[in-house]
């Protein structure tokens, strides 16, 4: 496989290295905060703060100019002198003062000489002080400044920056608008799904209004090579004969050096992954040192798709170094996973402080969030002195521990299972809406490097399978068999999901068969609306999940749940039967008991009347 | 110590002259007669120095009177009056026949006690115009018994029911009780329809509180019973030392048996070893008329005169208490005790009881001795049975006595004041645990039971099936006892007091109730443990869950611990390790409880006979008894 892929990439490189059309004008692209994971914008308060934003601008040699476009709003309850300093790297490029109440747009061009890497790192340093002879501690706060999700960087690329796909792909917007042909092939469907795994994807024609914020991708099976560029004011990409390679290229695009596409798998970022651990520094998180006065830390996303095939998350190790603040009370370091505190300990200054924890069963999910925090007893911050901030570092040795995986029990175990290969079986050649819905539903389950095969109809293949259809895969007995009489209820009989809801909903079930996972997706009435499903509604916990147009309705584990029962048509549950026929059962028992008492009463009177003939 | 009477002196000389006894035998008998203050013939008969027929024939010759055998020539029934039966037995004189004599028709009186006293009585009772013949004591008693057997049989069955029907188990359920039980069942049914969860929670809570009360009360009883028994024992020992044989009263021993020919020699040996003047023992071997094997075995042993075989005519219910009631009519002793066929009482038990009665107020109508087993190490069942009995008799009963709780008597070694027993109409023949019932009835009538540190050893059941039959009868009897004594709950509370009621409910009611409901909770626990099913969670809200857990762990743990302590007083420490296996024993008890409940409804008076003689220890004891060896 590796050699074949390498050969395909080499052919691609040769194909893409050919002469390209000359573009008429520079191309402008907007990189909103939303694209770099700051969809809620950036906010500061407490007269202090720092945030570093990393804009993926691509090869800086192709960049003509960059302007930071920062719409803001700000208020302060008390008169204060407040300012924000913009820094690129360590160099301040601008400082702006803000009034107590103000809104507007702060546009700041970035000096060209500071564009020296594929990522433009812009640091916003917020600081201030209360006006007048007012003595107040900094914790009073009452001030804030917010840069909305529409803020971002406006990048203008040189004429020839979009000359070839290899260069253009690093400059194109991250979000993709994928347009499949009317009759997509199996490989094209697979490619589209992998693109959706690699980047935010919208299925459909691109938007032509507003800034260039999404990259148009189309498919042409006759095109040589995995990827080529199409002409236009907003360059588009054409996926060729190897859609899966194209997906991997798009996944690695921000880190690709300019010029020809890499010919080796390693350059695509498909590096050899350790099967024992995942370094936290390899994850998409800002692990820069923090200056902490009372509380601060790092939030590290750990998608399940990062777990290698056959492995599972079993533990976390966080190594921290905390500077001595001269106080008697040591700092406390904590580690939490998905909001659950797993461990904490006092941090010895000047030493490596290690937090090593096992991950409890059922805590990991598809989109894991690791929070490493440092808590200090704040010094200063009163009238006499400002808060004392000391540095804390999350060391590169911090990692997530992997262990051998068992049979997938929950949805969040699937990404690791699929990482070794998976086949998606569709009942027929799908339309865009279906592919979009499948892509939305499988969010987090696939990565760009997942060996994904697509099959239109046919028998159940070997290996892990994703089966889309109204009926379960052949030979599979799912725990939930949707029918007119199937419902989900609590053990006390409280209905939780009635049959009508179940009939309308899209039902996803994980049914292991012979040690390999089979994911059965039964589309519901609003299946198409799953295309834009949020990350929070993704498959994660359990082996049964219900979705409607609004997202995930319900999720459970058919084996572990003690308080929920599935009532399939044709199932006989004694407890339920007794509950349904309770009145008749009670009446019958009461009649029997009454008959017994009547008989005993008769025996009592008979024995008195017969004067002892019955005694014995 | 008084001197012997002239009659006895004259009789003794005569027997020696006739060569019936030797002079040394006579001297020995005279010495005992002085010491025991018993007539010489009684002493001679009790020691088998002379057989009954020879003695009375000789006496007849000596007095110049005719000898008749009342068994072969029974008295004219028209001359007898049932109301005088007790007099006949006490005075050993009974109208025999009206005979034609030279003086005309004369009434002939048969006596088994020839002498001035007898003649004085006869003349006072029947006048001087009577003839006298001599008969044996055994024949006279048997004749009287046969004359009135039908009436006595009926009275043995129905006396209690006729005179005090409220106290009789002949009515199993009163209409009021049935109505109340039915109303409770109906209330549960209504609750099951309208609010099933709440109803089950309430029932669960009631049962859990009951369990808690059961544990607590047993623990309290054991704590209260932690008396210094050694001091009590020393007092009794001292009292025994002060007892003279002449002060000892006649003692009636009832031994009801049914189909137990094998253990009869063991019993006879054990009774012979009793440290008590033989002539003052009134031993009644009570057999059913149809039990030919046991009757033949008894006759084959050629037992001494002190052993009297009473044949109970066939009738229903065929129960031990009915047989005891029948035989009790013939009791002559001031005190009366029941022993089972396989019992081996400690030799000084009767003296201990006499001393205890002497030191106790008149309200003490019963002395209960301890029971335990001589084959305790035979198998698992006998070990657990021994622990069970040790816990009950050695630890709990002293506590009940101290707390004033009515004591459910054990099946044997209950010693009664005979007059009180007659006043209470003896045992309830319809109750299959007549002993437990009598203990409660005594308390209601104002009498008490005292415990004495003396043990009767029995044969523990070695067979599970046999054990279940026995225990099911006990539990059925407990159910009967509960139903009888709660017919008038207000009176019951007044008579025994609140603590007595609590003890009664906990021990009598608790034994049967826990046996019945334990399987329900065990099933819930097992199903939950195996399947981890969450369906039971709603029936155990937090407080109830904690209570149930406490009962499961602490309550049962406490009972097991108490079981482990039970054998300590007897220094049988090797049994302690078996206590944790009591759970299996409780399973058997539950089986027995449900069987008992079933029989309460279908065959309430059926006596589930326990087969004795299955233990290999019994076979050893039988061999010893046959060879004439002693030993407990």
Could you tell me the CATH number of the domain that includes residue A198?
3.30.379
Evaluate whether residue A343 is within a structural domain: no
Q: Looking at residues A62-73, what average pLDDT do you find?
A: 92
Choose among A562, A589, A615: nearest Cβ to B189. A589
Q: What is the pLDDT of residues A427-455, one digit of tens each?
A: 888 888 899 999 999 988 998 889 999 99
Residue of chain A with shortest Cα separation from B539 = A492
Q: Looking at residues B266-283, what average pLDDT do you find?
A: 88
* Model confidence band, residue A162 (pLDDT cutoffs 50, 70, 90): confident
* Confidence (pLDDT) at A141: 66
Answer yes or no: do A541 and A585 share one domain: no
* Confidence (pLDDT) at A314: 92
Does the beta carbon of B244 lie under 8 angstroms from any beta carbon of chain A?
no
Evaluate whether residue A296 is within a structural domain: no
Answer yes or no: do A187 and A124 share one domain: no
Answer yes or no: do A88 and A191 share one domain: no
Residue of higher predicted confidence among A479 and B195: B195
CB contact under 8 A, B175 and A583: no
Residues 140..169 of B with a Cβ closer than 8 Å to A: which? 157-158
Q: Which secondary structure element, helix H or strand E, spans residue A333, and what is its range?
A: strand A331-337
Q: How many CB atoms lie within 10 A of CB A371?
A: 18
* Model confidence band, residue A382 (pLDDT cutoffs 50, 70, 90): low
* Model confidence band, residue B228 (pLDDT cutoffs 50, 70, 90): low
* Confidence (pLDDT) at A10: 43
Evaluate whether residue A220 is within a structural domain: yes
pLDDT of B405 strictly over 60: yes
CB contact under 8 A, B192 and A586: yes
Evaluate whether residue A33 is within a structural domain: yes
Answer yes or no: do A551 and A464 share one domain: yes
Q: State the average pLDDT for chain A.
A: 83
Query: Which neighbouring-strand residues pair with A92?
Result: A87
* Confidence (pLDDT) at A230: 81
Burial A255-292 (b: 16+ CB within 10 A, else e): ebebebbbbebeebbbeebeeebbebeebebebeebeb
Q: Is the pTM above the cut of 0.80? A: no
- The number of angstroms, rounded, from the C-alpha of B154 to the middle of its chain's C-alpha atoms is 21
Contacts of B537 in chain A (CB under 8 A): 491, 562-563
Residues B375 and B458: their CA atoms lie apart, in Å, by 8
Last residue of a domain, one of A215, A243, A263: A263
Strands A176-179 and A201-203: parallel
* Model confidence band, residue A521 (pLDDT cutoffs 50, 70, 90): very high
- Length of chain B (residues): 632
Contacts of B169 in chain A (CB under 8 A): none
Answer yes or no: do A202 and A259 share one domain: yes
Contacts of B196 in chain A (CB under 8 A): 582
Rg of chain A on CA atoms, in Å:
31
* Confidence (pLDDT) at A532: 77
* Model confidence band, residue A256 (pLDDT cutoffs 50, 70, 90): low
Highest-confidence segment of A133-142, A387-396, B33-42, B67-76: B67-76
**Is the four-CA dihedral B179, B180, B183, B185 of positive or negative sign?**
negative
Strands A311-322 and A352-358: antiparallel
Residue of chain B with shortest Cα separation from A614 = B316
A413, A398, A407: which is closest to A320 by C-alpha? Answer: A398
Contacts of A491 in chain B (CB under 8 A): 534-535, 537-538
In this structure, are residues A429 and A457 in contact, taking their beta carbons and an 8 Å threshold? no
Evaluate whether residue A110 is within a structural domain: yes
- The number of angstroms, rounded, from the C-alpha of A401 to the middle of its chain's C-alpha atoms is 20
CB contact under 8 A, A491 and B535: yes
Q: What is the ipTM of this complex?
A: 0.82
Backbone angles phi, psi at B22, to 5 degrees: -90, 165
Backbone angles phi, psi at A309, to 5 degrees: -60, 135
Structure tokens at B180: 């109340």
Burial class from Cβ neighbours inside 10 Å (0-12, 13-18, 19+) for residue A321 reads middle
Query: How far does the CA of residue A609 sit from the closest CA of chain B (Å)?
Result: 12
Residue of chain A with shortest Cα separation from B532 = A562
Does the beta carbon of B195 lie under 8 angstroms from any beta carbon of chain A?
no
- Length of chain A (residues): 616
CB contact under 8 A, B178 and A597: yes
Residues A186 and A424: their CA atoms lie apart, in Å, by 9
Residue A380 is classified by DSSP as: -
Does the beta carbon of B120 lie under 8 angstroms from any beta carbon of chain A?
no
* Confidence (pLDDT) at B2: 60
Query: How far does the CA of residue B178 sit from the closest CA of chain A (Å)?
Result: 6
Strands A487-490 and A495-497: antiparallel
pLDDT of A487 strictly over 70: yes
Does the beta carbon of A589 lie under 8 angstroms from any beta carbon of chain B?
yes
Q: Looking at residues A379-408, what average pLDDT do you find?
A: 81
pLDDT of B631 strictly over 70: no
Residue of higher predicted confidence among A325 and A600: A600
**Is the four-CA dihedral B20, B22, B23, B27 of positive or negative sign?**
negative
Answer yes or no: do A495 and A586 share one domain: no
Question: By percentage, how much of chain B surpasses pLDDT 70?
Answer: 98
Contacts of B318 in chain A (CB under 8 A): 616
Evaluate whether residue A307 is within a structural domain: no
* Model confidence band, residue B473 (pLDDT cutoffs 50, 70, 90): very high
Answer yes or no: do A555 and A427 share one domain: yes
* Confidence (pLDDT) at A134: 58
Burial class from Cβ neighbours inside 10 Å (0-12, 13-18, 19+) for residue B282 reads buried
* Confidence (pLDDT) at B285: 93
Answer yes or no: do A416 and A514 share one domain: yes
Q: What is the pLDDT of residues B26-62, one digit of tens each?
A: 888 888 888 888 888 888 888 888 888 888 888 888 8
* Model confidence band, residue B519 (pLDDT cutoffs 50, 70, 90): very high
Q: Looking at residues A499-511, what average pLDDT do you find?
A: 88
Evaluate whether residue A545 is within a structural domain: yes
Does the beta carbon of B170 lie under 8 angstroms from any beta carbon of chain A?
yes
Q: What is the pLDDT of residues B335-372, one digit of tens each?
A: 999 998 888 899 999 999 999 999 899 999 999 998 88
Q: Looking at residues A375-404, what average pLDDT do you find?
A: 80
Strands A367-375 and A331-337: antiparallel
Residues B68 and A527: their CA atoms lie apart, in Å, by 115
| CATH number of the CATH domain containing A129 | 2.60.120.260
In this structure, are residues A521 and A438 in contact, taking their beta carbons and an 8 Å threshold? yes
Q: State the average pLDDT for chain B.
A: 88
Residues 545..574 of A with a Cβ closer than 8 Å to B: which? 562-563
Q: Which secondary structure element, helix H or strand E, spans residue A296, and what is its range?
A: strand A295-303
Does the beta carbon of B180 lie under 8 angstroms from any beta carbon of chain A?
no
* Confidence (pLDDT) at B241: 79
* Model confidence band, residue B302 (pLDDT cutoffs 50, 70, 90): confident
Choose among A491, A596, A597: nearest Cβ to B534. A491
Q: Which secondary structure element, helix H or strand E, spans residue A353, and what is its range?
A: strand A352-358
CB contact under 8 A, B172 and A583: no
Burial B372-386 (b: 16+ CB within 10 A, else e): bbbbbebbebbbbbb
* Confidence (pLDDT) at A264: 44
In this structure, are residues B167 and B160 in contact, taking their beta carbons and an 8 Å threshold? yes
Backbone angles phi, psi at A595, to 5 degrees: -60, -40
Residue of higher predicted confidence among B246 and B184: B184
Structure tokens at B258: 């049914």
Cis ω for the linkage preceding A186 (within 30 of 0): no
Number of Cβ pairs < 8 A linking chain A and chain B: 70
Strand order of the β-sheet with A487-490 is: A495-497, A487-490, A564-567
* Confidence (pLDDT) at B584: 93
| Range of weakest confidence among A111-125, A198-212, A336-350, B175-189 | A198-212
Residues A245 and A258: their CA atoms lie apart, in Å, by 18
Burial B88-110 (b: 16+ CB within 10 A, else e): bbebbbbbbbbeeeeeeeebbbb
| Range of weakest confidence among A307-311, A566-570, B115-119 | A566-570
* Confidence (pLDDT) at A3: 46
Strands (E), B459-516: none
Cα angle vertex A485, ends A482, A487, to 5°?
70
Residue of chain A with shortest Cα separation from B601 = A600
Highest-confidence segment of A155-159, A235-239, A341-345, A565-569: A341-345
Residue A465 is classified by DSSP as: E
> End-to-end CA distance of chain B, in Å?
33
Last residue of a domain, one of A138, A157, A176: A157
Answer yes or no: do A204 and A177 share one domain: yes
Answer yes or no: do A169 and A141 share one domain: no
pLDDT of A23 strictly over 60: no
Burial B190-222 (b: 16+ CB within 10 A, else e): ebbbeebeebbbebbbebbebbbebbebbbbbb
pLDDT of B524 strictly over 60: yes
Q: Which of A492, A600, A605, A606 to mutate to test the interface with B (most CBs of B within 10 A)?
A: A600
Strands B335-338 and A311-322: unpaired
Give the contacts of A239 (CB within 8 A, at least 6 positions apart). A188, A191, A195, A217, A218, A219, A220, A223, A226, A227, A246
Residues A302 and A269: their CA atoms lie apart, in Å, by 17
In this structure, are residues B435 and B260 in contact, taking their beta carbons and an 8 Å threshold? no
Answer yes or no: do A495 and A510 share one domain: yes
Residue of chain B with shortest Cα separation from A591 = B186
Query: How far does the CA of residue A607 sit from the closest CA of chain B (Å)?
Result: 8
Structure tokens at A525: 């009435």
Question: By percentage, how much of chain A surpasses pLDDT 70?
Answer: 85
Q: Looking at residues A192-202, what average pLDDT do you find?
A: 90
Q: Looking at residues B94-109, what average pLDDT do you find?
A: 88
Residues A173 and A169: their CA atoms lie apart, in Å, by 8
Q: What is the pLDDT of residues A26-59, one digit of tens each?
A: 788 889 998 888 888 899 988 888 888 989 888 8
Which residue range forms the structural domain that includes residue A211?
2-21+161-263
Evaluate whether residue A254 is within a structural domain: yes
Answer yes or no: do A45 and A168 share one domain: no
* Confidence (pLDDT) at A386: 63
Indicate the number of domains in chain A.
4
* Confidence (pLDDT) at B632: 41
In this structure, are residues B26 and B16 in contact, taking their beta carbons and an 8 Å threshold? yes
Q: Looking at residues B546-569, what average pLDDT do you find?
A: 88
Choose among B175, B193, B533: nearest Cβ to A601. B175
Residue of chain A with shortest Cα separation from B607 = A616
Structure tokens at A470: 């109204």
CB contact under 8 A, B538 and A608: no
> What does the CA dihedral A114, A116, A122, A127 come to, rounded to 10 degrees?
-50
* Confidence (pLDDT) at A15: 43
Last residue of a domain, one of A157, A181, A196: A157
CB contact under 8 A, A615 and B430: yes
Q: Looking at residues B289-314, what average pLDDT do you find?
A: 88
Contacts of A490 in chain B (CB under 8 A): none
* Model confidence band, residue A379 (pLDDT cutoffs 50, 70, 90): low
* Confidence (pLDDT) at A266: 43
Contacts of A603 in chain B (CB under 8 A): 172
In this structure, are residues A537 and A550 in contact, taking their beta carbons and an 8 Å threshold? no
Give the contacts of B266 (CB within 8 A, at least 6 positions apart). B341, B342, B344, B618, B621, B622, B625
Does the beta carbon of B531 lie under 8 angstroms from any beta carbon of chain A?
no
Residues A444 and A423: their CA atoms lie apart, in Å, by 16
Q: Looking at residues B180-199, what average pLDDT do you find?
A: 93
* Confidence (pLDDT) at A138: 54
């Amino acid at each position: 496989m590796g050699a074949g892929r390498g050969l395909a990439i080499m052919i691609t490189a040769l194909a893409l290295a050919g002469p390209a059309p000359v573009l008429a004008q520079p191309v402008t692209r907007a990189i909103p905060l939303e694209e770099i994971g700051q969809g809620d914008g950036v906010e500061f308060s407490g007269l202090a703060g720092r945030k570093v934003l990393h804009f993926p601008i691509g090869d800086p040699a192709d960049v003509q100019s960059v302007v930071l476009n920062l719409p803001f709003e700000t208020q302060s309850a008390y008169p204060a002198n407040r300012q924000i300093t913009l820094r690129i790297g360590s160099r301040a490029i601008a400082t702006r003062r803000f009034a107590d109440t103000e809104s507007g747009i702060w546009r700041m061009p970035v000096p060209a000489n500071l564009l020296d890497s594929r990522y433009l790192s812009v640091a916003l340093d917020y600081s201030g002080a209360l006006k007048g002879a007012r003595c107040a501690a900094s914790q009073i706060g009452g001030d804030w400044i917010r840069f909305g999700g529409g803020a971002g960087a406006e990048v203008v690329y040189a004429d020839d920056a979009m000359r070839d796909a290899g260069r253009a792909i690093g400059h194109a917007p991250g979000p993709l608008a994928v347009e499949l042909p009317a009759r997509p092939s199996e490989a094209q469907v697979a490619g589209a799904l992998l693109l959706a795994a690699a980047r935010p994807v919208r299925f459909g024609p691109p938007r032509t209004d507003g800034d260039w914020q999404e990259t148009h991708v189309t498919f042409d099976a006759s095109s040589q090579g995995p990827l080529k560029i199409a002409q236009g004011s907003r360059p588009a990409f054409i996926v060729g004969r190897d859609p899966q390679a194209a997906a991997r290229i798009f996944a690695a695009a921000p880190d690709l050096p300019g010029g020809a596409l890499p010919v080796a798998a390693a350059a695509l970022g498909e590096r050899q992954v350790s099967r024992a651990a995942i370094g936290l520094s390899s994850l998409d998180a800002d692990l820069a040192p923090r200056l902490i006065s009372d509380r601060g830390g790092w939030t590290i996303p750990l998608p399940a798709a990062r777990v290698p095939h056959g492995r599972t998350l079993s533990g976390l190790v966080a190594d921290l170094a905390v500077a001595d603040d001269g106080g008697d009370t040591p700092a406390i370091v904590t580690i939490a996973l998905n909001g659950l505190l797993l461990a904490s300990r006092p941090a010895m200054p000047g030493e490596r402080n290690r937090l090593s924890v096992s991950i409890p069963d059922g805590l990991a999910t598809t989109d894991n969030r690791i929070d490493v925090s440092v808590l200090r007893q704040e010094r200063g911050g009163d009238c006499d002195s400002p808060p004392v901030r000391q540095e804390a570092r999350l060391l590169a040795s911090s990692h997530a521990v992997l262990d051998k995986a068992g049979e997938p029990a929950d949805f969040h175990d699937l990404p690791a299972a699929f990482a070794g290969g998976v086949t998606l079986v569709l009942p027929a050649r799908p339309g865009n809406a279906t592919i979009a819905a499948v892509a939305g539903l499988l969010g987090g389950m696939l990565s760009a490097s997942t060996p994904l095969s697509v099959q239109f109809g046919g028998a159940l293949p070997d290996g892990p399978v994703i089966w889309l259809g109204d009926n379960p895969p052949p030979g599979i007995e799912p725990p939930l068999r949707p029918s007119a009489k199937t419902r989900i209820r609590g053990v006390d009989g409280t209905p939780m999901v009635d049959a009508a809801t179940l009939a309308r909903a899209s039902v996803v079930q994980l049914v292991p068969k012979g040690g390999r996972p089979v994911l059965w997706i039964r589309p519901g009435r609003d299946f198409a609306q799953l295309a834009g499903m949020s990350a929070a509604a993704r498959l994660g916990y359990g082996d049964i999940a219900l979705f409607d147009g609004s997202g995930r309705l319900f999720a459970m584990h058919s084996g572990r749940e003690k308080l929920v029962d599935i009532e399939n048509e044709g199932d006989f549950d004694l407890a339920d039967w007794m509950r349904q026929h309770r009145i008749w059962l009670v009446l019958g028992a009461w009649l029997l008991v009454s008959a017994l008492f009547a008989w005993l009463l008769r025996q009592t009177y008979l024995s008195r009347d017969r004067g002892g003939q019955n005694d014995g | 110590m008084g001197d012997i009477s002239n009659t006895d002196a004259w009789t003794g000389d005569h027997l020696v002259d006739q060569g019936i006894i030797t002079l040394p035998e006579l001297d020995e008998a005279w010495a005992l007669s002085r010491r025991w203050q018993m007539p010489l013939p009684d002493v001679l008969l009790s020691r088998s120095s002379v057989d009954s027929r020879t003695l009375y024939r000789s006496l007849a010759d000596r007095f110049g009177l005719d000898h008749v055998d009342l068994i072969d020539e029974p008295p004219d029934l028209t001359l007898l009056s049932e109301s005088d039966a007790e007099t006949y037995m006490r005075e050993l004189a009974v109208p025999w026949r009206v005979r034609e004599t030279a003086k005309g028709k004369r009434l002939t009186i048969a006596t088994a006690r020839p002498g001035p006293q007898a003649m004085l009585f006869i003349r006072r009772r029947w006048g001087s115009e009577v003839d006298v013949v001599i008969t044996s004591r055994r024949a006279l008693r048997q004749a009287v018994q046969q004359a009135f057997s039908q009436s006595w049989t009926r009275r043995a069955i129905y006396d209690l029911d006729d005179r005090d029907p409220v106290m009789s188990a002949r009515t199993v359920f009163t209409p009021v009780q049935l109505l109340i039980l039915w109303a409770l069942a109906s209330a549960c049914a209504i609750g099951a329809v309208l609010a099933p969860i709440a109803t089950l929670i309430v029932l669960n809570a009631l049962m859990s509180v009951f369990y808690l009360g059961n544990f607590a009360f047993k623990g309290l009883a054991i704590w209260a019973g932690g008396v210094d028994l050694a001091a009590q024992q020393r007092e009794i020992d001292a009292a025994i030392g002060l007892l003279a044989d002449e002060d000892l009263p006649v003692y009636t021993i009832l031994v009801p048996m049914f189909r137990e020919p094998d253990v009869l020699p063991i019993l006879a040996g054990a009774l012979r070893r009793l440290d008590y003047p033989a002539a003052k023992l009134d031993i009644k071997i009570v057999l059913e008329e149809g039990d030919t094997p046991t009757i033949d075995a008894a006759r084959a042993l050629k037992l001494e005169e002190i052993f009297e075989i009473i044949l109970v005519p066939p009738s229903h219910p065929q129960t031990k208490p009915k047989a005891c009631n029948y035989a009790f009519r013939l009791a002559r002793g001031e005190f009366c005790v029941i022993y089972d066929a396989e019992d081996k009482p400690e030799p000084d038990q009767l003296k201990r009881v006499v001393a205890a009665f002497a030191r106790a107020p008149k309200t003490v109508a019963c002395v209960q001795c301890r029971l335990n087993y001589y084959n305790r190490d035979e198998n698992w069942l006998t070990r657990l049975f021994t622990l069970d009995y040790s816990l009950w008799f050695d630890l709990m009963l002293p506590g009940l006595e101290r707390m004033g709780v009515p004591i459910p008597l054990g099946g044997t070694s209950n010693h009664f004041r005979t007059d009180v027993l007659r006043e209470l109409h003896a045992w309830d023949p319809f109750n299959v645990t007549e002993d437990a019932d009598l203990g409660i009835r005594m308390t209601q009538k104002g009498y008490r039971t005292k415990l004495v540190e003396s043990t009767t050893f029995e044969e523990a059941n070695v067979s599970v099936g046999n054990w279940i039959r026995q225990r099911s009868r006990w539990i059925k009897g407990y159910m009967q006892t509960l139903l009888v004594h709660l017919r008038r709950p207000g009176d019951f509370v007044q008579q025994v007091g609140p603590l007595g009621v609590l003890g009664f409910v906990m021990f009598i009611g608790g034994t049967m109730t826990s046996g019945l409901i334990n399987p329900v909770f065990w099933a819930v626990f097992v199903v939950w443990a195996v399947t981890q099913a969450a369906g039971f969670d709603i029936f155990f809200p937090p407080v109830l869950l904690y209570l149930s857990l406490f009962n499961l762990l602490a309550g049962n743990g406490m009972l097991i611990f108490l079981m482990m302590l039970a054998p300590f007083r007897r220094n049988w420490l090797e049994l302690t390790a078996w206590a944790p296996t009591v759970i299996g024993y409780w399973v058997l008890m539950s089986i027995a409880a449900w069987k008992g409940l079933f029989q309460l409804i279908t065959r309430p008076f059926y006596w589930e006979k326990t087969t004795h003689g299955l233990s290999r220890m019994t076979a050893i004891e039988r061999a010893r008894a046959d060879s004439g060896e002693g030993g407990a």
